[in-house]
Structure 1
């Protein structure tokens, strides 16, 4: 029998022991009851603490204990009553003796104690002899629960190469037994799997590192931890859990090239930026710890470059400058791989880098010709004869074959007419005279082609500068309009002149001005050179007469400073004009301008007079319209308005041809006769309709105007508004011409018949313009 069985037996006997005296006392009380003597004592309940061992398998009720009153004489008059948790079902009481029995198996983890109430009454009187009292029956714990890891399984991560003793994680197990009673809930931790790398603290469950671990060797460990109750003694229960421990990476490994030498090839025809090959250094670390950069070292880094592919960690070798098979056929490029992130602890062991050498061989390719210069600049003087030498270009085949070269000019038919190149030796000559003033520079594109392989072609630009030759004489920069007043005085400056030269002077232009030889004896004007490329024209006498001579012609000789110098004679025209007393040049120019228009002073006065009369007539019409109280056309104003059509466009449309028949105005014969004074309304309507029929024929329009003028002159009593019409002839763009509309409406009594003020001139004004000498009737 084990310890657990002995312990259970002892506990059972201890609980049953109180029940034995009570039964003996109960029988003795019955036997000695007649001889008992009555004495007064202090009354009260008498019992001790009650316990029930859990998990007992009962075949019959088990005595828990006894409760009694000290006034009980054991004569059967007392009756004990039990109430509370489990009373009557789990716990029963002997109503005569007060002995309590348990009838069922109890579980402390389900309910650790029961609260009950006891009462003692007199059987005869049914009155309580003791007050109701409360007591507790505790369920005694036994080791029936195993430890459990409620948070398992566990997982933890620690950096690789962590030192010994580093805490990893803490595991915790729980035991359902009573921790305050015995050792049933006292746990002890131990490691079943994971040694020798990990250990666990027996009391706390903290897992620690026992030795350093390398992630590159093994990056994950499974540890099994056991928790055992009864302080690890035999007979106790135990539980286990697993802990997954991952090692995180640190940068403890440097990149390493798998080859000491790498071999690659590149064609000499490969363009700059071409990919030659790829290399890669291996790093046992992962993530950012394995990230590296590749760099080239030495003089070869000017020709080759290496870049890093951040996704694959490869080094991509690229061509930085063109290579030439004939110049250098092999290259040795030193490449270094360096970790981007360094760990200070491991940096003490040395730099985290590795070096390799790339052997690059240049392959021969058929290359195009190569010119001796990237571009050529040549010069030739303008005016050089056809066939003159301009310059020569040279190209060679860079390959060993040394193919002959053929030259040609391309891209411009115009340049081909000016220049020619010798196909064999590259000599350029001109085939047409060159003019610097037309084009100072010529850009020629010349190609060099291998004769053995015409696909190999190169181009070069030739800049030809045309040198200037003094082949243009100086001249006036513009046409000078010179005027001299009739009352001008001798020595008066009337004009400042200058000169221009199309040639390009190296030292700057300098011009000299004098009178031409044929005008050296001119007694009217003189020329003074200002020595600043300008000259002044001065009068040489007092007073000029326009009636005697309207204009003077003054030849001026201009000489440049070219080599050789060139001379030109330019003639100035000096016009004589009438000026004010101050001999103002501005008024002189205005008078000359009016004279150039062909208007005399008398004609100008007549024009101004016509304008003045028009203004007076306009003011009179404004006053007359204000005084008019009622309409001059009271009968059927709708007849006057019904034919008014407004034209907003300039040309004839469908409305022109449909609303009016203008074919009657196409004839050049208009038959009219002098008629007596007619009704005003009818007359205006007639004039309006006739105005609408005026077409583009100017002869018809002129004849119509003259006829209306005659009628107005022959009737001195006619009011001024009987012949007011507006004729705005705007051209011959359409079949019916461009007709203006009346600017008034008949919508109210005070009609507006002032067509003159709104749109144009009346017949009298038109007549005045046709004949300025004809007077205008008021």
Structure 2
């Protein structure tokens, strides 16, 4: 009995020491959210010896490194009640140890809290099955057991992926024994591992006797997938690249388990190994030579094999085609198809195509490596030729651009070189050259001037007919000027005459350097030479005109505005210009001239300008300031500058003048014109009422009332019109004698500028006749025979020789005479009654008022003369002479 006990104790000690390699339980406080790479804790492996250890996590969300570090694989949310899993530690002998890991969310632990040891849970280890297993199925895998089976009668149940979730029905459990079974084939590439949950339940009440735990089934890989090409297989490399130049890399993948022989791929080439090589482990293709030539082969197709199991014969493989294209470099210069080229051209011809020169180039067409550029390296010193490239055929096109002269050169020998737009690389070849011979053919030519352009210097203003030079031509065949005639082709100003037989050039008009026909002191003409065969040649004469001092400085802006300011601070800039050149122009000298020079002063003089400013404060007005301007030679004249001093706006412009009551010139003229029209109308009335120079008498057929004049056309009892006592002197002069009654005649007429009467007052003697009309106001006072300021007798003046004022005064004298005569007549017949009021006549007269001055109330138009009515008849009766009325 003792011996059995010792054996049991030894077994227990052995198990204890075996399990003491690692700690049995790890508790870790972690955040609620765990990120990939988060370090949860570490398994202490110090007591497990030096042999290799294998550490496996039952939860695929965690992984364990070889040093025991526990890391998070993907994002995990730790539930409130925590999360648990275990870690299997296996040594090289196959012995296993298990470490329970419990995770709880991070929180502070109360100081008074009592830490309790958690009861060890049932912890079935993970197990594995092979993928693509052929069965037979179902196949037993492992047993699971819960520690609670000691105290309870339990049965087992599983659920989750592989059971109740995809792939459904793959695993099952024997409820009573806890035996796990697999029911079909599993593909590792689809399910690398499957984790489902196991539950231990009480057989009596179906309550779980322990916490459910995850069961991890690891699917062991089988090499059932061949590697596949995953990247591009088209590569490009430059021709003649150096050996070892990387062409490209072949990419491949394998679906089997990584980091195993099942996915270790080896690359190899089946052809083209003399030109290319491939790295077996990386798939990098490199050039195996430096003689890759695009002109020999532009593309290479390489058969490439990829094989897993590191290229072992039992490995799975695939083959593909890698296409390598060689890019072009300029390793071939253009070559001429002939060793020499010949052509011909007629003399005196230009802009003609002489030759087409073909070349060959093996480089890629229509690239800078193929396109040719031609150059004339010899024989074109005079610039007679030009060569271009035909962009389509790549040929050289040789042109003659300047005429050739057969008499000077019968053959032109050229050297042409052809090169590419891109420089040569990867070759020892150089650019090629070829000789070209161009024969010049002769033709009969016209005369040629010995100098195509003749330059002559001439002073301006030379006399007409001055010989300024001779321009002759020669026959290129005979080298003689005999029988050649000369004519002028162009001469814009007709300044030069060309002598027909000699070619002499003489001035025909004054040559003016300042003329707009002269540009840059140069004037040119074209001369034509004609030989006996009517062949012609042309030449150009450039006349360089030398300046003389024939212009004085002038002011460029003679009208200036000076804004009025307080004091004398304002000034204007006076600028001058001289059409001559130096030394006949600036610098100028400025001097003030004239009587008002003391009012102004000149300051700040420069070579061509000076500042003009008032020497004292001047009122706003327009001033003429004379200034003497001289050039450097003292040649000049006095010029006037108009300076307007005024109030200015912000822009420096004179402000408009305010309205003034003073009438301008045009206002006065307008008023005079209106007054003249009024006077003409009055004169017309006077002429109608006047006689031809004899005394007029009133008609004797007066009515019973004894009035001299009858006032008619009144609609009511009329105004009293009393006659003024008018006396006539014994001498016959037009003077009213005041001793016979002291009478007076006063007339006031108020008129507007358009001639319409708006007020008139007439006073005769002691009576007053007043009439209101529209018009201009004039005042005439007749007293004691005086009219205005002049005294007039009975003299008669012819109206055609009178001025307007004389006519007006003469009309007044005539009226005075008539009135005096009428009064004299009345004295003889009605001496006892000087003033006669007129009675009411009843119905108004159709003639209206017969007063001469009543015409003024009508419009100024003279159209009434065309149709004179009853008014004129009555007036005519009044104005009838005595002889007509039967008087003496």
Query: What TM-score does the superposition give when structure 1 sets the normalisation length?
Result: 0.48
Q: TM-score, normalised by structure 2?
A: 0.43
